[in-house]
């Protein structure tokens, strides 16, 4: 019999989350473990063991494990990747430092340049040249490639090589020729071709992406190999799948070859879960709010689909300053991420003001209340003092919290230096992190011309439901939604996300001069590659849907917009429909259209998507769940009201149609939902908490 059990695993900065789903019985089981930063696979293996033990399933019952990781982005931010060499067109080795010749801050005389992963001495040029149409102007000098590779490996001891030649997006023949030469000399050396990882126009971004892929590839390969080996040692014979930054599920093979496509792998799962819940709840405008132990992620989900983009900046020198990071040509869920989580540390700065984050206590030593060695008060510590968390029911009672230790830490680190009470210090932490998240959310929506008051907040993550009510008030939202199993919703996102992949090819031409036969060949090539990957990732070939789009602009413009291509438009007969789609997209971006200037296309994109799976969470019940929803009351603090008696409810005992009045605290094993006064909570048919704020 075909195995029917699937497990989603989300490795966060503080906790690793698990959701087990049995397709045959519909059973859902959740779990949470402290992350093991030194080796994230340790927490994954121990968590999988425990999930199987608690549910009675055997490793042979596992169909698949779906996983997302922050390993790629952490490697780039922390600069812990491989030693990389670059082989490029002779005369173009400084492309990475020349960049776009734009200062990201015009008025800073001491501006810090955006990071470069490959120093100049490890960037070597070789004779070769293609023209913009892909015609060979100068044949590749294979001996020069061989000598460059030997110098990089023997003299500079590089662990990976990136190859990026001019105009290889149009004709990758020279890059493939170089790969054959290098592989003959060093068959085990990881090698990245720019024309494969990012076959798009603009050599700076393409070269940057190739170098970043080479930088993280050795570490990612070691991680995936160890994880596969450890799972096999458990008796797991199923499939390991990986979440892409764009929200699709792919195979280990693609993750090994193009790990840079996983740079936003973990956060993307939360956005996919929000899309799933927005569809179940019938919401067409949603702000996805995922607050874990280290970061908070906000994303727009419209019509049950998260916003996406096809470029990304990693490792920014200044977090919110565009152009201060490393440009990457990868498809990602469009979100904003800030250092605001349950483990974010509160401190008093040099001029006597309290700051919260972005530094985090993480999983080790963790917040003070964990009793694992942490000494600096965090957001979770403040929430405990305010009465939002039950020290005896954290993680369902599995981890006891220590309020007395927290009080001493807050008193010594915050209250005394600031000359305020412990309550004021704790509320200051809570309010400040909420303000930081609200400011980031407003900025993210403002950049897209959206009004937050028209949106509903979907809150999840271990800390998200604790802070969602306060965040919603600051954003002037009237409704928020908290799904069942909110503390592990990102892990659920891995199980409901569809197998999907994005492909792109650049071919620059005016709309009225396009070689449509060439465009159709490009799409046929991309479709064949994508379907092979998706079938490998568990999709049925006949169920795969194709979505075509193109990056287009008016001739003379410096940047382009993505335009969906109407079905059946790949020919002269479809020009009118393509022009109409361009003007519609242009108007949405800029509020106007200019119909007299010719249009050109630069890159042609194909998104292939297989159907995702629906999962009902009404079977989520820990063994100790009782039948009485109201557990009692406890004192909780709300601004303008002080400490008030707050009803405490068992989330698992609430049923569809139940209605509660705030203030209330609603507890489940992995998270706690806090609702202030002047609010009403109802339970919808799929067990979401619908919070209406008056």
Q: What is the pLDDT of residues 476-528, one digit of tens each?
A: 999 999 999 888 888 899 998 888 888 999 999 999 999 999 999 999 999 99
- Kindly state whether residues 152 and 196 are assigned to the same domain: yes
pLDDT digits (tens, 9 = 90+) for 430-477: 999 999 999 999 999 988 888 999 999 999 998 999 999 999 999 999
Which residues are 356's β-sheet partners?
346
**pLDDT value, residue 622:** 54
Instruction: Choose the final residue of a domain: 173, 206, 239.
Output: 206
Query: Is the model's pLDDT at 227 over the cut of 80?
Result: yes
Q: What is the pLDDT of residues 576-629, one digit of tens each?
A: 999 999 999 999 888 888 888 999 999 999 999 988 777 776 666 554 455 678
Domain match, 539 and 639 both: no
Contact 13, 296 (CB under 8 A): no
404 lies in some domain = no
Cβ-contact 486, 461 below 8 angstroms: yes
**DSSP for 217-281, written as a single string:** HHHHHHHHHHHHHHHHHHT--SEEEEE-TTS-EEEHHHHHH-GGGGTTHHHHHHHHHHHHHHHHH
Taking alpha carbons only, the member of 369, 376, 366 closest to residue 346 is 376
Query: In which domain, by residue range, is 200 found?
Result: 84-206
Residue 350 covered by a domain: no
Q: What are the φ/ψ torsions at residue 445 (nearest 5 degrees)?
A: -75, -35
Which strands form 500-510's sheet, in the order they lie side by side? 500-510, 599-609, 545-554, 561-564
CA nearest to 252, candidates 262, 264, 244, 240: 240
- Domain co-membership, 597 together with 675: no
Tell me whether residue 434 is in a domain. no
- 559 pLDDT above the threshold of 90: no
| In-domain check, residue 334 | no
Q: Are 310 and 262 in contact (CB under 8 A)?
A: no
pLDDT, mean over the chain: 90
Q: What angle in degrees, to the nearest 10, is found between the helix axes of 142-150 and 173-185?
A: 50
Backbone angles phi, psi at 19, to 5 degrees: -135, 125
What is d(CA 490, CA 306) in angstroms, rounded to the nearest whole number? 14
Q: Please write down the long-range contacts of 402-411, taking CB distance under 8 Å and 24 or more positions apart.
A: 402/368, 402/369, 402/370, 402/371, 403/369, 405/368, 405/369, 405/371, 406/367, 406/368, 406/369, 406/377, 406/381, 409/368, 409/375, 409/376, 409/377, 409/381, 410/377, 410/381, 410/382, 410/385
Q: Rounded to an integer, what distance in angstroms lies between the CA atom of residue 365 and that of residue 451?
A: 40
Do the beta carbons of residue 671 and residue 461 sit within 8 Å? yes
Read off φ and ψ for residue 194, nearest 5 degrees. -65, -35
Cβ contact 681:468 at 8 Å: no
Tell me the mean pLDDT in the region 45-60: 92
Residue 317 has pLDDT above 80, yes or no: no
479 located within any domain? no
Residues 131 and 202 in one domain: yes
- How would you classify the pairing of strands 160-164 and 191-193? parallel
**Which residue's structure tokens are 């096809």?**
310
> Are 602 and 650 part of one and the same domain?
no
In a shared domain, residues 134 and 170: yes
Q: What is the pLDDT of residue 624?
A: 47
Residues 570 and 661 in one domain: no
Distance CA 583, CA 89 (A): 38
Longest CA–CA span in the chain (Å) reads 80
* Per-residue pLDDT, 2: 78
**111 and 178 housed in the same domain:** yes
Cα separation, 397 vs 391, in Å, equals 8
Q: How many domains does the chain have?
A: 3
Q: What pLDDT is stored for residue 627 in this prediction?
A: 62
Q: Say if 140 falls within a structural domain.
A: yes
SS3 188: coil
Does 199 fall in a domain? yes
**Lowest-confidence region among 60-74, 308-322, 400-414, 526-540:** 308-322
| Angular region, 371: left φ>0, alpha ψ -120 to 50, beta rest | left
* Top-confidence residue, 222 or 625: 222
pTM of the model: 0.88
Is the same domain home to 201 and 90?
A: yes
Q: Are residues 653 and 599 in the same domain?
A: no
Note the pLDDT of residue 324. Answer: 83
By the 8 A CB rule, do 688 and 484 touch?
A: yes
Q: Single out the residue in 191, 206, 221 at which a domain terminates.
A: 206
Residues 670 and 604 in one domain: no
- One domain, residues 600 and 527: yes
Which of 206, 228, 261 is the C-terminal boundary of a domain?
A: 206
Mean pLDDT of 88-101: 92
Q: What is the pLDDT of residue 613?
A: 76
- pLDDT at site 621: 56
Instruction: Flag whether 297 is in a domain.
Output: no
Q: How far apart are CA 624 and CA 622, in angstroms?
A: 6
Angle at 353 between CA 351 and CA 357, to 5 degrees: 115
pLDDT score at 504: 93
């Amino acid at each position: 019999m075909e195995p029917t059990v699937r497990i989603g695993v989300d490795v966060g900065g503080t906790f690793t989350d698990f959701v087990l789903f049995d397709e045959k019985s519909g059973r859902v089981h959740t779990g949470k473990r402290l992350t093991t930063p030194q080796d994230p696979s340790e927490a994954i293996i121990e968590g999988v063991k425990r999930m199987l033990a608690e549910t009675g399933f055997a490793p042979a019952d596992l169909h698949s494990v779906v996983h997302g990781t922050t390993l790629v982005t952490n490697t780039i931010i922390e600069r812990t990747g491989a030693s990389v060499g670059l082989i490029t067109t002779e005369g173009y080795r400084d492309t990475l430092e020349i960049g776009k010749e734009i200062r990201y801050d015009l008025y800073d005389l001491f501006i810090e340049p955006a990071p470069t992963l490959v120093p100049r001495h490890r960037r070597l040029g070789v004779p070769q040249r293609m023209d913009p149409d892909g015609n060979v102007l100068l044949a590749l000098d294979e001996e020069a490639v061989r000598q460059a590779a030997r110098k990089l490996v023997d003299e500079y001891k590089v662990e990976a090589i990136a190859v990026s030649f001019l105009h290889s997006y149009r004709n990758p023949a020279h890059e493939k020729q170089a790969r054959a030469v290098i592989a003959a000399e060093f068959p085990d050396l990881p090698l990245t071709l720019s024309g494969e990882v990012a076959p798009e126009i603009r050599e700076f971004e393409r070269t940057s992406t190739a170098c970043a892929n080479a930088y993280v590839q050795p570490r990612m390969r070691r991680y995936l190999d160890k994880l596969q080996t450890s799972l096999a040692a458990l008796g797991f014979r199923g499939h390991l799948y990986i979440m892409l930054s764009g929200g699709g599920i792919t195979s280990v093979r693609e993750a090994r070859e193009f790990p840079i496509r996983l740079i936003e792998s973990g956060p993307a799962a939360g956005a996919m879960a929000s899309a799933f819940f927005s569809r179940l709840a019938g919401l067409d405008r949603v702000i996805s709010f995922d607050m874990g132990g280290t970061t908070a992620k906000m994303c727009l989900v419209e019509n049950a689909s998260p916003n996406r983009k096809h470029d990304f900046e990693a490792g920014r020198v200044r977090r919110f300053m565009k152009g201060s990071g490393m440009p990457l040509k990868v498809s990602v869920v469009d979100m904003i991420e800030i250092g605001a989580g349950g483990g974010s540390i509160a401190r008093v700065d040099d001029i006597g003001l309290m700051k919260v984050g972005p530094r985090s206590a993480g999983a080790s030593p963790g917040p003070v209340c964990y009793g694992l060695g942490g000494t600096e008060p965090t957001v979770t510590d403040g929430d405990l003092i305010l009465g939002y968390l039950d020290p005896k029911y954290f993680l369902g009672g599995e981890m006891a919290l220590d309020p007395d230790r927290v009080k001493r830490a807050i008193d010594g680190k915050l209250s005394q230096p600031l000359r305020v009470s412990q309550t004021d210090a704790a509320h200051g932490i809570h309010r400040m992190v909420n303000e930081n998240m609200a400011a980031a959310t407003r900025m993210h929506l403002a950049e897209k011309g959206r009004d937050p008051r028209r949106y509903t907040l979907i809150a999840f993550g271990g800390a998200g439901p604790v802070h969602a009510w306060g965040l919603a008030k600051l954003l002037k939202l009237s409704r928020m939604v908290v799904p069942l199993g909110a503390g592990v919703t990102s892990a659920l996102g891995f199980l409901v996300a569809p197998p999907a992949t994005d492909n792109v090819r650049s071919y620059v031409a005016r709309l009225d001069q396009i070689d449509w036969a060439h465009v159709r060949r490009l799409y046929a090539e991309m479709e064949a590659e994508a379907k092979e990957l998706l079938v490998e990732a568990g999709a049925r070939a006949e169920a795969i849907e194709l979505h075509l789009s193109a990056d287009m602009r008016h001739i003379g413009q410096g940047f382009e917009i993505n335009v969906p291509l109407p079905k059946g438009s790949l020919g002269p007969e479809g020009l009118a429909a393509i022009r109409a789609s361009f003007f519609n997209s242009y108007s949405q971006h800029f509020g106007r259209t200019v119909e007299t200037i010719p249009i050109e296309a630069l890159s042609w994109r194909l998104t292939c998507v297989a159907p995702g799976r629906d999962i009902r969470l009404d079977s989520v019940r820990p063994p100790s769940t009782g039948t009485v929803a109201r557990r009692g009351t406890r004192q909780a603090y709300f601004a303008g009201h002080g400490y008030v008696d707050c009803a405490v409810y068992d989330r698992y005992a609430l049923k569809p149609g139940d209605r509660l009045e705030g203030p209330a605290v609603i507890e489940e094993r992995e998270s706690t939902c806090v609702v202030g006064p002047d609010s009403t909570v109802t339970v919808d048919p799929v067990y979401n908490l619908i919070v209406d704020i008056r």
